[in-house]
Structure 1
Amino acid sequence: MEHRKGILLESGTNELEIVEFSIGKNKFGINVIKVKEIINPVQVVPVPHSHKHIEGVIELRGEVLPVVDVAASLGMQPSETPLQDKFIVTEFNQQKIVFHVHNVSQIHRISWNQIEKPSEMYQGTDSQIIGIIKLQGEMVLLLDFEKIVTEINPNTGISIQKVQKLGKRERSDKRLVVAEDSPLLRKLLHDTLNEAGYFNVEFFENGQDAFNYLESLAQSGRNISKEVQLLITDIEMPQMDGHHLTKKVKDHPQLSAIPVIIFSSLITDDLRHKGQIVGADAQVGKPEIAELVLLIDQYALL
């Protein structure tokens, strides 16, 4: 994965690289930043009573890693040529997971504004597609790997119980803006932030919509500090990613004072510098919702 070095050093360009892979005849993509390496299949040890989408575990350089059958998780047929399959070794949400796919073809560098959001006709809280990319006359579907993992193990997701452990919370009048593309995560964030006492939350499904809203407030002549006390953003979003959103906010003369917290599965030691470069005030790795709440308490403008 030598190509990752360039993209790891850049931030705020609104670009990403995706690894294109296939399940049957369908083409999918995963952000290259999540990918540690791609290997040929190795022996998988089945684990009794594990989730039906878990094939088992493998040992890789001394680590025991779970293997997820992507075809099974998508309700698709198993591979017809298993000897040609690939294992994509990933790291996100503070864990390493192996995804079993049928083939890995190539890597594409694209802009987030090339990624179309799924239509409401087929997207909902059960959708596993977060974006559609048109490449060379074909469609590549960007998968929501966080959702796939959360469905297998709900404990890896955002939990309202984690906020409840913070103790009784007072209701806050602070107004927050949240940019998050996943319908499921928007619902979870809504519920957990309400539990934390934050009821004035405006949600947007991508960075472009969030920035348009903030810019419209600035253009209206209203006092921004009274309209918005904090911006929370994911990184991976169609149209405009969280790093580019943060950069545009911090470069804007009327918006730059708004504190920005990046809340993403991509917050790792290797990638934290990307948020720092664009001026994020704080960064939290999903699913640490309690840590996010404590940072909101700290950074939300009075």
Structure 2
Amino acid sequence: MAGVLDNVNQRTQLVGQNRLELLLFRLGTDQLYGINVFKVKEVLQCPALNEIPQRNPVVRGVAHIRGNTVSIMDMNLATGHGPLDNIQNCFVIITEYNRSTQGFLVRGVERIVNLNWEDIHPPPRGAGRENYLTAVTEVEGKLVEIIDVEKILAEVSPMSEEISEGVIEDGIAERVVQKHILIVDDSSIARKQIQRVVESMGIKTTLKKDGREATEYLEQMVAEGKDPYTELILVISDIEMPEMDGYTFTAGVRNNPALSGLHIILHTSLSGVFNEAMVKKVGADDFLAKFNPDELAKRVNDRVLEMTGESMLDNEE
């Protein structure tokens, strides 16, 4: 256990191409679960928790950790099972998602494994739409389930998807009536969040759940004689995805002469440990940390103006 704790901080600084490191943990049973080490700040024995009034039942309490007050969520309870008992003997995984720090209570922490994203697969079709899995893999013959943490966070503490007044220009969608935006994300919650923001601007969307699926979609578009630059405004892609991650997807697009000029924004919850040098290395046009509807809408707004000419506001002057 000490080895796991000692190495988490060091390993979170690593950024690879189409690879990831999973921290394996258990909840109420022997089933193994995994979380990307890039999201993990530290692992510690469950500290003393203070209850807060009118809290969501998933939040077992708050803890004071390194000068900060952190909400501690019971991951077993959050995924539709019973609450973990004897929490003083449990562990807390401190993570950073979507620009905030939170802790997840788990029964036990195992070890860190190094895998290729090609070995990470979407949940089986029979898992149903309401499952809390974003992917599955196998480690030494055992199934490992990767939990959709963004789904948990959206249920415990929903984020506003409203765009503030003045962020986008009136009539922006009229400039791109025949175009759409390709959204690539393995989390169903994240896809829907982005889709709702973009479509509230009056712009159409196409959704794909990983880099491989998005690559096949773009290649099929070219094979059918369609012009990607006529069809698409831009691509908004997550980084962490099964089959093919956002880095590899972006690099593949840049290496394809028929697609190389597409505008790509990497949109990720890896805000705390993200290495911006990777954006330049793989050739993405921009990076945006999840999830801020105003910032996302502003990026889309500016891209449309870049494609179609000067600001409408300038034309009125």
TM-score (norm 1): 0.90
Which of 189, 204, 208 matches 2:208?
204
Instruction: Please give the residue correspondences for 1:1-302 in structure 2 after superposition, counting only pairs within 5 Å.
Output: 2=7, 5=10, 8-11=13-16, 13-25=17-29, 26-79=31-84, 82-124=87-129, 126-155=130-159, 159-162=160-163, 166=167, 169-170=170-171, 171=173, 172-173=176-177, 174-199=179-204, 201-268=205-272, 270-300=274-304, 301-302=307-308
Deviation (angstroms), 1:290: 1.9
- The structure with the larger Rg is 2
Please state whether the residue corresponding to 2:163 is helix, strand or coil. Answer: helix
CA contact (8 A) 2:183 2:208 kept: yes
Aligned length: 296
- Uncovered stretches (5+) of structure 2, i.e. residues with no partner: 1-5, 309-317
Deviation (angstroms), 1:113: 1.6
RMSD, aligned CA: 2.2
- Uncovered stretches (5+) of structure 1, i.e. residues with no partner: none
Deviation (angstroms), 1:204: 0.7
Please state whether the residue corresponding to 2:48 is helix, strand or coil. Answer: coil
Deviation (angstroms), 1:269: 5.9
Seen in structure 2, the aligned counterparts of structure 1 residues 220 and 282 have a Cα distance that, compared at 3 Å, is same
Seen in structure 2, the aligned counterparts of structure 1 residues 7 and 46 have a Cα distance that, compared at 3 Å, is closer
> Which whole-Å CA distance do the structure 1 matches of 2:8 and 2:256 have between them?
32
> Which whole-Å CA distance do the structure 2 matches of 1:23 and 1:287 have between them?
28
> Which whole-Å CA distance do the structure 2 matches of 1:80 and 1:289 have between them?
38
Encode CA deviations 1:134-158: one digit per residue, 9 max, x unaligned. Answer: 1212111100111111111113xxx
CA contact (8 A) 2:8 2:40 kept: no
CA contact (8 A) 1:169 1:197 kept: no
TM-score (norm 2): 0.86
CA contact (8 A) 2:99 2:269 kept: yes
Q: What is the percentage of aligned positions where both structures have the same residue? A: 27
Aligned residue type for 1:232: I
Deviation (angstroms), 1:4: 5.4
> Which whole-Å CA distance do the structure 1 matches of 2:60 and 2:187 have between them?
26
Moved more, 16-25 or 268-277: 268-277
Encode CA deviations 1:98-138: one digit per residue, 9 max, x unaligned. Answer: 111000001111111211211332231x3211011112121
> Which whole-Å CA distance do the structure 2 matches of 1:167 and 1:255 have between them?
27
Deviation (angstroms), 1:253: 2.1
> Which whole-Å CA distance do the structure 1 matches of 2:267 and 2:252 have between them?
17
CA contact (8 A) 1:163 1:192 kept: no
Please state whether the residue corresponding to 2:93 is helix, strand or coil. Answer: strand
CA contact (8 A) 1:58 1:66 kept: yes
Please state whether the residue corresponding to 1:229 is helix, strand or coil. Answer: strand
